[in-house]
């Protein structure tokens, strides 16, 4: 495996007196797709923000390769109405270059018709696609997407994941995806990391798919080749206040550790 | 124009001598107030700018008392206040507008006291509060234009970074913009502008020259650059109109400029937004 773009090593983050992440490690290498899954409040967004350099760890280290070009697609973005800004200008802020490049990026994200629209007039889904176009336009080494499949139907997710796979193949970039869905992840994912303040388990979807329960659930996704089902049972204990017991695992596969 | 001059019985040479420096000074301030005012509107910094302007009076008073340039005093005070306010905003108990209200009026009160304590030279408080454009001399005109061009050049140079942090600071940071440095630059340029504008419209009216032309421009434009440029044009028109009214109706200059700007704003309200 080539040199990681970002190396997160036994990082702990405490926000407002609450431990959000503890002893988390993560490597993002070129050409690899990593999906973070976990329940709400599991620290997925914090881990992504750590990778992006928006959060500094209380313990541990985050090493980013010098000159790393990052494309980031946040969940949503609110832009003040007082700022007159078209989609085209918004993209220009992310990466200067010819209009044709911006048009092509929008085309790719399936929103070419929105180029002259004011950003404030976009729906949530349209804004997400515009953000994706802006991220792609930067030709990133690392692409971070926060819940890209949120509010998108299964066919839409399939199309989106197909696009991301093409982008990865084309640019050879690393992709970090956050998914709130514990069951549906991108089939092309090289690694699935399940987070519950610590890394409970991680592994390739293939490893995961050997789980008999996975086959049981496979039916409904037939015909959507970019989606994989992943079953996950939280059969280890977490305290009521959410503090997980500190059992750290480097094994691959579903979260069965009894 | 020449006919009106003869009717008011003023010699043309006198009028030019009297009006040219204030006109040029006012135009310098209006020109920079366009783009700066746009950022004040976009970043919702109107009250913040007002607080710096109020504090500017105290800065000016200290500058005079210490016998250094009042401009140095104003810039130093604005920067100090900006830093203090940024630090204070980290506490959560009081909303930032409450905090700004406290700081704005405390510094204004202190400024009035400090000005009134100046014994050596006669200082006209009114001139600081509402501006005294007609008293501006050629030396100041040169200084104002130099300052205006520096501010404009910095804004053009850092335009994309300034706009990026205005759209979204996190996205800007991820994309490699030095967010803290850019924010600091904007603050510094705003402090410089306030120091310059103190003679034009005075500390109580500076924010209006920033906010009103930019607000008027919002309804007329579709891109950030357009809005900044149109705000400059509207600010320039306001200065021209305000000075003209002041000359013929003998009204105070600063307030006349602000009323002219408001008049233009009212006109833009007539336009339907697309």
pLDDT attached to residue B3: 42
Say yes or no for a CB contact (<8 Å) between A84 and B44.
no
Q: Domain spans of chain B? A: 12-273
Residue A85 belongs to some domain of the structure: yes
Q: Which residue of A has its CA nearest to B167?
A: A79
Minimum distance, in Å, between the CA of residue B118 and any CA atom of chain A: 43
pLDDT of res. A123: 87
Q: Is the pLDDT of residue B2 over 50?
A: no
Based on the domain organization, do A111 and A220 belong to the same domain?
A: no
The side-by-side arrangement of strands in the sheet containing A59-64 is A18-28, A6-15, A59-64
Q: Which residue has the tokens 């729906």?
A: A123
A156 and A133 share one domain: no
The pLDDT, as a whole number, for residue A220 is 46
Is residue A184 a part of any domain in this protein?
yes
Q: How confident is the model at residue B164 (pLDDT cuts 50, 70, 90)?
A: very high
Q: Give CA torsion, residues B49, B55, B61, B63, to 10 deg.
A: -70
On whether both A135 and A148 belong to a single domain, the answer is no
Beta strands in chain A (DSSP E): 6-15, 18-28, 33-37, 59-64, 70-73, 142-146, 174-179, 184-186, 191-196, 198-203, 227-229
A52 has a chain B CB within 8 A of its CB: yes
Q: Of A197-201, A222-226, B13-17, B257-261, where does mean pLDDT reach its minimum?
A: A222-226
Banded pLDDT at B174 (limits 50, 70, 90)? very high
Contacts of A137 in chain B (CB under 8 A): none
Asked whether the predicted pLDDT for residue B24 surpasses 50, the reply is yes
* Residues A104 and A128 occupy one common structural domain: yes
> What pLDDT shows up at residue A224?
52
Q: Is residue A148 part of a domain?
A: yes
Instruction: Name every chain B residue with its beta carbon within 8 A of the beta carbon of A84.
Output: 218, 221-224, 226-227
Select the residue of B41, B174, B175 nearest A82 (Cβ to Cβ): B41
Interface contact B167-A85, CB threshold 8 A: yes
Residue B3 or residue A108, greater confidence: A108
Question: Is B223 at the interface with chain A, CB within 8 A?
Answer: yes
- The reply to whether A202 and A216 lie within a common domain is yes
The C-alpha atoms of residue B232 and residue B34 are separated, in whole angstroms, by: 4
CATH topology of domain B12-273: ABC transporter involved in vitamin B12 uptake, BtuC (1.10.3470)
| Nearest-angstrom CA–CA distance, A8 and A28 | 9
Q: What is the pLDDT along chain A (258 residues), one digit of tens a residue?
A: 567 899 999 999 998 888 889 899 999 999 999 998 877 788 888 999 999 999 999 999 999 998 899 999 998 888 999 999 999 999 999 988 899 999 999 999 889 999 999 999 998 888 988 999 999 999 999 999 998 877 777 788 888 888 888 999 989 999 999 987 666 677 778 888 888 888 877 777 767 555 544 344 334 444 455 666 544 444 444 444 444 444 444 443 344 333
Question: Phi and psi (nearest 5°) for A45?
Answer: -65, -40
> How large is the average pLDDT for residues B248-261?
92
Put simply, whether A62 touches B (Cβ < 8 Å) is: no
Range of the domain at A50: 1-69+143-225
B224 touches chain A (CB under 8 A): yes
Q: CA-to-CA distance for A205 and A169, rounded, in angstroms?
A: 19
- Interface membership of B170 toward A (CB under 8 Å): yes
Of B104, B74, B110, the C-alpha closest to B200 is B74
Residue A17 lies in a domain: yes
Cβ-defined contact of B224 to A54 (cutoff 8 Å): no
Task: Tokens for A107, please give them.
Answer: 């085309």
Asked if A114 and A131 sit in the same domain, the reply is yes
Q: In DSSP terms, which residues pair with A24 in a beta bridge?
A: A11
pLDDT at res. B137: 87
Q: Do A96 and B160 touch (CB under 8 A)?
A: yes
User: Is residue A28 located within the same domain as residue A89?
Assistant: no
Output the pLDDT for position A226: 65
The reported pLDDT for the residue numbered B274 is 52
HSE value, Cβ hemisphere, 13 Å, CA-based, for B31? 18
- Cβ-defined contact of B223 to A77 (cutoff 8 Å): no
- pLDDT tens for each residue of B115-131: 888 776 666 788 888 88
- The model's confidence at residue B195, banded by pLDDT at 50, 70 and 90, is confident
- Examine residue A250 and state whether it is found in any structural domain, yes or no: no
Question: Which residues does chain B have within 8 Å of residue A93's beta carbon, measured at their own beta carbons?
Answer: 160, 163-164, 167
Dihedral (CA of B56, B58, B63, B67) sign: positive
Verify that A111 and A127 share a domain, yes or no: yes
Q: Regarding predicted confidence, which is higher, B37 or A206?
A: B37
Residues ≥6 apart with Cβ < 8 Å to B23: B239, B240, B243
Task: Please indicate, yes or no, if residue A191 is contained in any of the structural domains.
Answer: yes
Instruction: Determine phi and psi for A121, rounding to 5 degrees.
Output: -95, 5
User: What is the number of structural domains in chain A?
Assistant: 2
d(CA A63, CA A199): 19
Put simply, the chain A residues between 163 and 222 with a CB less than 8 A from any chain B CB are none
When the pLDDT of each residue in chain B is averaged and rounded to a whole number, the result is 88
Among A139, A163, A186, the domain-final residue is A139
Which range in A145-149, B30-34, B59-63, B93-97 is most confidently predicted, on average pLDDT? Answer: B30-34
Residues A57 and A176 grouped into a single domain: yes
Distance of alpha carbon B52 from alpha carbon B48, whole angstroms: 6
CATH number of domain containing A60: 3.40.50.300
Cβ-count burial A224-243 (b if 16+ within 10 Å, e if not): bebbbbbbbeeebeeeeeee
Residue A88 inside a domain? The answer is yes
A245 in any annotated domain: no
The pLDDT of residue B273: 61
Per-residue pLDDT at B90? 72
Instruction: State the best of A69, A79, A84 to mutate against chain B, taking most chain B CBs within 10 Å.
Output: A84
Contact (CB, 8 A) for A82 and B166:
no
pLDDT value, residue A51: 94
Which positions ≥6 away from B45 have C-beta within 8 Å?
B39, B190
Q: Are residues A85 and A206 in the same domain?
A: no
Among A95, A116, A139, the domain-final residue is A139
Among chain B residues, the shortest Cα distance to A80 is held by: B42
């Amino acid at each position: 495996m080539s040199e990681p773009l970002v190396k997160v090593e036994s990082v702990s983050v405490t926000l407002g007196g609450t431990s959000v992440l503890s002893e988390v490690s993560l490597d993002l290498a070129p050409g690899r797709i990593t999906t973070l899954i976990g329940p709400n409040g599991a620290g997925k967004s914090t881990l992504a923000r750590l990778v992006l350099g928006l959060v500094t760890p209380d313990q541990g280290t985050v090493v980013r390769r010098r000159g790393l070009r990052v494309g980031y697609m946040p969940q949503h973005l609110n832009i003040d109405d007082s700022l007159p800004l078209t989609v085209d200008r918004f993209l220009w802020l992310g990466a200067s270059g010819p209009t044709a490049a911006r048009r092509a990026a929008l085309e790719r994200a399936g929103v070419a018709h929105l180029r002259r629209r004011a950003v404030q007039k976009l729906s949530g889904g349209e804004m997400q696609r515009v953000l994706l176009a802006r991220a792609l336009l930067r030709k990133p080494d690392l692409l971070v997407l926060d819940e890209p499949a949120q509010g998108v139907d299964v066919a839409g997710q399939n199309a989106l994941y197909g696009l991301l796979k093409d982008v990865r193949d084309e640019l050879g970039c690393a992709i970090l995806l956050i998914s709130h869905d514990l069951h549906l992840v991108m089939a092309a994912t090289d690694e699935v990391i399940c987070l519950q303040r610590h890394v409970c388990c991680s592994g390739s979807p293939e490893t995961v798919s050997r789980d008999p329960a996975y086959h049981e659930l496979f039916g409904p996704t037939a015909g959507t080749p970019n989606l994989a089902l992943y079953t996950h049972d939280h059969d280890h204990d977490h305290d009521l206040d959410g503090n997980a017991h500190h059992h750290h695992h480097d094994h691959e596969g579903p979260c069965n550790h009894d | 124009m020449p006919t009106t001059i003869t009717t008011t019985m003023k010699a043309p040479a006198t009028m030019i001598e009297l009006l040219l420096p204030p006109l040029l000074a006012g135009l310098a301030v209006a020109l920079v107030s366009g783009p700066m005012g746009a950022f004040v509107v976009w970043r919702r910094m109107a009250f913040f700018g007002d607080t710096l302007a109020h504090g500017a009076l105290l800065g000016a008073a200290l500058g005079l008392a210490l016998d250094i340039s009042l401009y140095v005093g104003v810039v130093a005070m604005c920067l100090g206040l900006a830093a203090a306010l940024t630090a204070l905003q980290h506490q959560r108990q009081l909303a930032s507008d409450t905090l700004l209200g406290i700081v704005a009026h405390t510094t204004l009160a202190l400024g009035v006291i400090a000005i009134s304590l100046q014994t050596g030279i006669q200082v006209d408080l009114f001139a600081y509060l509402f501006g005294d454009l007609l008293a501006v001399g050629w030396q100041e005109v040169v200084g104002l234009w130099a300052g205006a061009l520096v501010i404009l050049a910095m804004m053009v140079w850092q335009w994309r970074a300034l706009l990026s942090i205005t759209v979204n600071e996190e996205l800007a940071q991820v994309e490699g913009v030095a967010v803290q440095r850019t924010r600091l630059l904007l603050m510094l340029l705003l402090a410089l502008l306030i120091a310059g504008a103190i003679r034009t419209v005075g500390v109580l009216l500076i924010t209006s020259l920033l906010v009103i032309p930019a607000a008027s421009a919002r309804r007329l434009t579709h891109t950030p650059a357009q809005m900044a440029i149109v705000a400059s044009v509207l600010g320039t028109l306001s200065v021209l109109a305000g000075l003209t009214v002041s000359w013929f109706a003998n009204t105070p200059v600063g307030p006349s400029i602000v009323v002219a700007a408001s008049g233009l704003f009212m006109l833009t309200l007539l336009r339907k937004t697309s």
